[in-house]
């Protein structure tokens, strides 16, 4: 057997998230179907980030084992899979990795971006990739609030009550809020994220931008370690996994 790491980009609009589930269409499910067809039998796909329904990715990762009987070079696998996949999923690259390599057992830096359409009218062409906010937002106050996220914290306030994690301590390396014309981009990089964490951060920052909270309130929300202290969970379509970087590996 040979273990292969692939990098995947997808539009999550039509999918019930990444993780394969019975009875619903998922990104991993579609890739598994293509892999099984390519390799002539069932393949177990191990994903990096389990994005939710409607969430997009420019750079997610996954690994799987290819039987030695299938003499397919790792770098040829993306092309072989892409002709078997729908147009809203694309395999960007493939590389052979050690047999015991697991993407969730490595030191990583993940970068997510949440996009907000801040305009008086909703744009139907962007409805699946942004969260529309009609009232003008103060992106400078949102950026100031985001700086309180940086560092190592217990992010219980920004975690779904349904999350299953041994610890809710995470490290945020960088956080920013930038406006480009009528769109505001919230970008957060960290060593890991809890269930719905970025969407709750986005919902809380939107409340700061609306003037419902001050930038300094973000520190109080973190200290509370209480989901009720943070804002709403922003809808999924504005969220995209932008980069999945391995700290100690070149692939």
Please identify every residue annotated as catalytic.
Answer: 52
Helix count (H) and strand count (E) of the chain?
Answer: 5, 10
d(CA 47, CA 83): 21
| CB neighbourhood size of 225 (10 A) | 15
d(CA 225, CA 206): 20
d(CA 196, CA 93): 28
Number of alpha carbons in the 13 Å side-chain half-sphere of residue 40: 6
Dihedral class, residue 10 (left if φ above 0, else alpha if ψ from -120 to 50, else beta):
beta
User: Which two tokens mark 85?
Assistant: 């996949």
């Amino acid at each position: 057997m040979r273990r292969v790491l692939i990098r995947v980009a997808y539009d999550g609009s039509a999918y019930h998230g990444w993780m394969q589930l019975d009875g619903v269409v998922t990104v991993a499910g579609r890739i598994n179907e293509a892999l099984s067809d390519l390799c002539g039998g069932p393949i177990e796909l191990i994903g990096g980030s389990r994005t939710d329904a409607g969430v997009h990715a420019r750079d997610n990762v996954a690994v799987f084992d290819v039987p030695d009987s299938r003499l397919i070079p790792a770098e040829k696998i993306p092309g072989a899979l892409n002709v078997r996949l729908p147009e809203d999923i694309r395999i960007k690259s493939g590389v052979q990795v050690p047999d015991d390599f697991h993407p969730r057992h490595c030191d990583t830096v993940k970068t997510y971006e949440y996009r907000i359409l801040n305009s008086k009218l909703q744009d139907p062409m962007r409805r699946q990739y942004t969260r529309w906010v009609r009232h003008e937002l103060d992106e400078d106050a949102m950026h100031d609030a985001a700086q309180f996220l940086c560092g190592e914290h217990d992010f219980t306030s920004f975690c779904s009550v349904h999350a299953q994690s041994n610890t809710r301590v995470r490290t945020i390396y960088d956080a920013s809020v930038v406006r480009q014309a009528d769109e505001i981009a919230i970008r957060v990089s960290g060593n890991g994220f809890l269930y719905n964490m970025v969407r709750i951060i986005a919902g809380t920052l939107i409340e700061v931008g609306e003037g419902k909270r001050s930038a300094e309130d973000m520190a109080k929300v973190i200290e509370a370690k209480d989901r009720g202290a943070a804002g709403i969970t922003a809808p999924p379509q504005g969220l995209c996994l932008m980069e999945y970087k391995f700290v100690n590996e070149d692939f």
